[in-house]
Amino acid sequence: MADHFSFHGVKVTAVGRRQERLDEFCAQHGNEKASGIAFDIEKLDEIPAFVEKCVNGTLLMRTARLTLSSTFKTHPDIDCVFLNAATQARFDFSKPETVDLGALQSQITINFNSQVALVHAMLPHLLSRSSPTGLIFTGSPISLIPVFPMPAYGASKAALESFVLSLREQLRDTNVTVQQISPGPVQTELHDAHAGKEAGRKFGMPMEDFVKESWVGLVDREEDIYPGCVGGSTKEQFLKLVKLRDEASGRMSTLLRSMWTK
């Protein structure tokens, strides 16, 4: 996604733990189009200072903790933030002695808590602009259809989706739009830990297909984009669940707004 944004003229600053990955990205696209900043989003207490110091153009988390961003102070023209951080691991509660609660909490921190902290730190800048701005999240169909071997991943994505829907409703009368991309499995390193590198990189839709389908949805300003498919369900079956959820959410929002305005 970072490459695709850059190829389409979006200035991107990559932020992540691995400096070599950042250097490769910058070398490929050139300093005028790309830059990089090292940061680990699991360090929640450092996020406000990080955002104050640095974030322009697009913020994208490509791997477990890899982001695209720029700098508010150096590049105050930021207009979109793309949050795509995720890490994934299996936990078997039928064998509680094997469950590492520290690793489980770390997964929830990266997949959910960090996203909330980043949004909280970035919104003052986005809301202060007179022109349209945006937040883009990477969700997952697992938010609606749990995958039982990965309870923490599913719970974190369900929490993120609930947050995104609430955030979208709260920001509906502002200059900030909220979009979400929720793909089925994509051939990335996300699956390496539990499937092995060789099998993991072959699991799901090709990255090129995911990028193309996601880009079309973003350009068309779709609020929710669902590339690929969900295991065991057709796209049509899954979208029926989404439709019912959205209708119920709309009714709840209408009810709550009518109560608040009385």
Is residue 125 helix, strand or coil? helix
CA atoms within 13 A on the CB side of 18: 10
pLDDT of residue 216: 93
Q: Domain boundaries in the chain?
A: 2-231, 234-262
Q: Do 50 and 39 form a contact (C-beta atoms < 8 A)?
A: yes
Overall fold of domain 2-231: Rossmann fold (3.40.50)
The whole-angstrom separation of Cα 79 and Cα 72 is 10
3-state secondary structure of 160: helix
Q: Is the C-alpha dihedral spanning 52, 54, 60, 65 positive or negative? A: negative
Lowest-pLDDT choice from 24-33, 163-172, 183-192: 183-192
Q: Over the Cα atoms of the chain, what is R_g? A: 18
pTM for this prediction: 0.85
Mean pLDDT in residue range 238-257: 95
